[in-house]
Amino acid sequence: MNTLVLGFRDIDASMTPLVGGKGANLGELSRIRGVLVPDGFCVTTEAYRHVVTRTPGLPELLDRLTRIGLGARGEDATRAIAEAGGEIRRTIEAAPIPAAVAEAVGGELAKLGADQAYAVRSSATAEDLASASFAGQQDTYLNLVGREALLDGIRRCWASLFTDRAVTYRIQNGFDHRDVLLAVVVQRMVFPRTAGVMFTADPITSDRRTVSIDAGYGLGEAVVSGLVTADNYKVRDDRIVDKTISTKKLAIYPDGDQGVIETEVTPDRQDRQALTDRQILDLAGVGKRIEAHYGNPQDTEWCMDERGIFIVQSRPITTLYPVPTVTDGHVHVYISFSHQQMMTDAMKPLGLSFFQRGFPDVPLVAIGGRLYLDVSTDLRSAVGRKVLLASMKSVDPLIHNALERLVSRDGFIASLPRGKRALRLGTGYFSWSFLKHLMRLSRSDDASLVPQAMAENDAAVGELRRRLAGLTGEALLTRIEHEQRLIQQAIYDAHSMSIVYVGILASRWIDKHVEKWLGEKGTANTLSMSVDHNITSEMGLDLVDVADVVRRHPEVVDYLREPDPRTFLDDLARLPGGDETTSAVQRYLDRYGMRCPGEIDITRPRFAENPSALTPMILADIRTYEPGARAELFARGLRTARDKEQDILARLERLPGGRRKAKRTKRKIAQLRAFIGYREYPKYMLVQRYWVIKQALLREAERLQGRGAIRDVEDVFYLSFDELRDAIRTGRVDEPEITRRRQDHVGYARLTPPRVMTSDGEEIFAEYEAGGVPEGALKGLPASSGIVEGRARVVTSLDEANFGDDDILVTTYTDPSWTPAFVSVKGLVTEVGGMMTHGSVVAREYGLPAVVGVQNATTLIRDGDRVRVNGNDGWVRVLNASPAQASDQPRTSRESE
């Protein structure tokens, strides 16, 4: 069989390496009954390979481009990429078409019609994949007639593999330029009345039951390129549920024998519906037929003439958040547990399964590498619905508002399953024992209860380490399973959780009553500053002590600017002052080394595994503070809290019944300061135990590697806990499955997880209630009172947490590992968070004005912008854009939202 040119009839979905993603899809589409595809053929990757390997100078140019890509950073790299790509394009466009390729193209034209018009499109081997579409990265040439015009179009398609945008996209997605080959699709032109694109799942809401169709006049390129605002039709369950009829002023039509031309649409047609209702439903039916064939939602390009509907391209929709599996025939509703835990990054399979096993009574579902709570049965119940909505209003108002939108739909409640509720008295944190302890402790302000509970935990962690020390193999996994039950008991311990809630309830009581009596909001924020036993805020202050040691040794400071993560502690030890520095760092790691960003995922690297992650924050502390600042920072917060207490009590005493009000308030303040610091401790308890268990699992992974069962120790992170047990027992793993899961994890990491979604895949979005926000400001939740202005530092990783004294941290989320960075900034803005999440609690402890839950803050605020953060009313405003970042482009939210 000729492997240089293949007709669609000879192509199927398995032939991507030979004909690229688009070519394979078109061949497969041609096989679907009831789907019309214009005839055509593919010039295969073998032809492209022939040109690349036999054209003088091209292999060397590709090697040069690959070397540039490996270290691509900044404007110099951008220029180098453009220069190398341009030279490759010119070389390919000047190269002759191989005689065998030209002959095979001529043979196919003779079969299809040499005098017909054709479209010539690229089809790369890394194109139209489920994980990356590469849509629009190479060029398309329309209405080409004759052999020579087609051969020239083929040559230009080959060259377009090296446009700046295509090269940059491959670098960003980790594709080697030499591994991505290009086929070319040659397809007979259809000269349609209407054309456009069709998504078999709604690309805005991700609802898999809704087909979304964009339609315009003439060739579909006008719609695909964004030249016109197309009509949009939505079809759900064979019904048109929405229409948006746009004014379509332009269309693209063939221009004589070659090329295309833009044409103005006559006024009488501009506002007319491009498709009839019958055509809309017929087109949606074709789309669902294609989706059923491929088994996943499709992004298609279509056109329509007097003969019917033609499909000219179909590829997977790569931007959809995955759909959970449901088999009971009911609609299920999922809320993001990850948002509530300040961990919206994708987790690896071992991390997901380990956390789920640790809390078997909680209906946690892994979706797209994140954890979600199935709250369907709670919403079905009138009582459960009330409890859930009330709890979400304080935890995450955006989840609350989205749920309210959802349950207000006609007939929606009846579509949900009945069953046992997740949130009910007598379970988890809401056990009867907890309620009894809470009632008893609410009458106490005995601060000795907190260090006593902490000491008991430290002893329990020591016992855990001793129990696991000598175990290996299946005995170790069995013991860890038992320890997970003990961890759940520790987290749900009624006495421990009642200490947490006494502090929380005292905070709420103070805020409510002081606002009622004195008209002052957020008083508990100030009263919470510099409390004892806050393990998370102490983590930030203790790093200031480490910075004091480091600052005494200039060579250590220089090294920390560019540390080597692989040899960090050894490198420090060899420097002048290294022994003292290493001892200080090690003391810090002994207490906080189990922490890290995203720490509920047991697979994430801990500070103890990568101490160099602390260096940006150490350097920031050295710049920001004078020696000995730790004690002064704590003392300053304590003075502020004490002054606020005296001020509040004095003002209350001057009110009618003021002595009684002041007495009650003084007692609640004592409870607040005695217990609120412990709010951060239960998560510390969890990650302490996770770290001990992770060390044991890594030792077991090293044994598996020694047996040849896995290539890399971290391969076990892509197994579930039960699969890890099987691997230990059998000495075997499914390597292709591990590779696939690695790829899935990379894909999941690029997705933005929705706060609320349904089992139809629909993402439910909501906004804050309007009111009290200046025009142009971004709304969020007031998490820590105060108003501050400063320079926005937009960072998404602790590696970038190198702040100055005028900086306001703007990030996606903060968990306890970010706390050391809080010491060096003057305000906080996050996309995720609630009043009692970790970032909010610690911001109040440090007296930082903070606004959390600001949707798309890291996109709408640019690094270097001057911003005002209003932690009293919950809004952020950009005062003026950074000169380095200013542009004429409007600030827009992420497309997925």
Residues belonging to the active site: 838
Return the number of other C-beta atoms located less than 10 Å from residue 814's C-beta.
26
Alpha helices in 532-680 (DSSP H): 535-550, 554-561, 568-574, 578-592, 615-624, 629-653, 658-675
Cβ atoms of 814 and 839 within 8 Å: the answer is yes
Return the number of other C-beta atoms located less than 10 Å from residue 427's C-beta.
15
Q: What is the DSSP string of 36-69?
A: B---EEEE-HHHHHHHHHHSTTHHHHHHHHHHHH
Contacts of 846 (CB under 8 A, 6+ apart): 529, 537, 540, 633, 637, 822, 823
Cβ atoms of 848 and 827 within 8 Å: the answer is yes
Cβ atoms of 811 and 749 within 8 Å: the answer is no
Q: What angle do CA 90, 95, 96 make, to 5 degrees?
A: 150
| Cα(665)–Cα(503) distance, integer angstroms | 14
Which two three-digit tokens encode residue 810? 């703007």
Quick check: helix, strand or coil at residue 719?
coil
Closest by CA position to 529, among listed 445, 449, 662, 634: 634
Evaluate the CA torsion angle 236, 239, 240, 241 in order and state its sign.
negative
Q: What phi and psi, each to the nearest 5 degrees, are found at residue 534? A: -90, 100
Residue holding tokens 């019944």?
657
Q: Is 253 exposed, middle or buried (0-12, 13-18, 19+ CB in 10 A)?
A: middle
Residue holding tokens 């380990």?
354
Q: Is 225 exposed, middle or buried (0-12, 13-18, 19+ CB in 10 A)?
A: exposed
Cβ atoms of 230 and 214 within 8 Å: the answer is yes
Q: Where are the beta strands (DSSP E) in 49-124?
A: 117-124
Quick check: helix, strand or coil at residue 765?
coil
| Cα(641)–Cα(646) distance, integer angstroms | 9
Cβ atoms of 248 and 228 within 8 Å: the answer is yes
Return the number of other C-beta atoms located less than 10 Å from residue 213's C-beta.
26
Alpha helices in 113-197 (DSSP H): 147-159, 164-172
Closest by CA position to 302, among listed 123, 126, 38, 13: 38
Phi-psi category of residue 411: left, alpha or beta, with phi > 0 → left and psi -120 to 50 → alpha: left
Check residue 332 and report its DSSP letter. Answer: -
Q: What phi and psi, each to the nearest 5 degrees, are found at residue 277? A: -60, -40
Which two three-digit tokens encode residue 682? 């239960």
Contacts of 432 (CB under 8 A, 6+ apart): 425, 426
Contacts of 833 (CB under 8 A, 6+ apart): 342, 396, 781, 783, 813, 814, 839, 840, 852, 853
Closest by CA position to 45, among listed 126, 106, 114: 126
Q: What phi and psi, each to the nearest 5 degrees, are found at residue 326? A: -130, 135
Cβ atoms of 355 and 796 within 8 Å: the answer is no
For helices 658-675 and 449-469, give the axis angle rounded to 10 degrees. 20
Closest by CA position to 19, among listed 53, 58, 46, 50: 46
